[in-house]
Structure 1
């Protein structure tokens, strides 16, 4: 590959990431309804055609933000999980980290789980960052348990419900720790 071509590809990748970052920042500051291709083009100081050379539209941008977010979530969960824990401690740490992630990054969480995207869960086309985040939950259950992915799905679903209901004010956020303890107790005491 020529030096010029490598430079162009590197610059394109940087522009691509710049657009994703700008979309996240704008969404965090003003909400996803404020994220338009016109506003993003102004923010990144490129024309709309340049933006469209990277993304087909807002849905594609939200998808890219979501996949970026799944990578961050996977890293966040991995850092939270103790290196050599007993299963209950690992599950509790990963669950708490998940809820913290949702609370600390509301617009990102919305892109990942609430806004419509074509990102597939539990599918052959599941993006690797999403699979990596899911695997952090799976690793909290005994390797010899054939149901560990099922357990991980149910725990993740319960956490998602807790995060969304708490964020919307439908359940009090001050009860989050008790709900988390209850969830972890039920799943860590699951017989093999």
Structure 2
């Protein structure tokens, strides 16, 4: 690849990230309804055709923001798990997840609420999404043959707690008690399926 081609690729990657960052900032300050290609073009000082050369519409931009979010979430959960006292990894990861959802509501919406083309639980699952999920899986003992199931249940419950709390449908001040209950129930669950 020539030096000119490499420079163009760097410039394209920079523009791509600039659009993602602008979309996220706009969503965080005014909500996702405010994120339009016209507003983004004004904000990043490129024409709408330049935006469309990077993204095929708003859903693609939301997907790119979500993918960045999963990278952040994976790093956030990893720091929590590795910084936890022995035996407290699951609690630390769960708490970190809820904090992430509360502190970054627009990003969380892009990741879990708004339509995206990201594939969950499949061979095409992007690495950042898998890395975030694996932080939950890593909280369970390696000899637990149902680690992924436990991680799915925990993640599902936390997502419900985050969304219901954010919408005011459950009181935010009950999060710790709900978290205690969830972790106690999962920790007491047998690691092998019981036969009927």
For the criterion TM > 0.5, the same-fold answer is yes
* 1:84 shift after superposition: 7.7
Instruction: State the 1:191 CA deviation.
Output: 2.6
Partner in structure 2 of residue 188 of structure 1: 187
Q: Which stretches of structure 1, 4 residues or longer, exceed 3 Å deviation after superposition?
A: 83-87
**Shift, 1:86, TM fit:** 3.7
**Contact 1:91/1:188 (CA < 8 Å) preserved in 2?**
no
Tell me the alpha carbon deviations over residues 66-118 of structure 1, each in whole angstroms, 9 at most, x when there is no partner.
Answer: 0010000000000000368544x100000000000000000000000001112
Provide the secondary structure at the position in 2 that maps to 1:82: helix
Aligned residues: 191
Q: Hey, what does 2:139 align to over in structure 1?
A: 140
**1:11-160 correspondence runs (5 A):** 11-82=11-82, 86-87=86-87, 89-160=88-159
Q: Distance in 2 between matches of 1:120 and 1:191?
A: 30
Query: Over the residues paired in the alignment, what is the CA RMSD in angstroms?
Result: 1.1
- Judge which range, 179-188 or 136-145, deviates more: 179-188
How far apart, CA to CA, are the structure 2 residues paired with 1:133 and 1:186?
22
Q: Is the 8 A contact 2:84 2:92 kept in 1?
A: no
Q: How does 1:157-176 map onto structure 2 within 5 Å?
A: 157-176=156-175
Give the gaps of 5 or more residues in structure 2. 192-196
CA–CA distance in structure 2, aligned partners of residues 172 and 34 of structure 1: 28
Give the distance between the partners of 1:56 and 1:64, measured in 2 at CA.
Answer: 11
What is the DSSP-based 3-state SS (H/G/I as helix, E as strand, rest coil) of the residue aligned with 1:115? coil
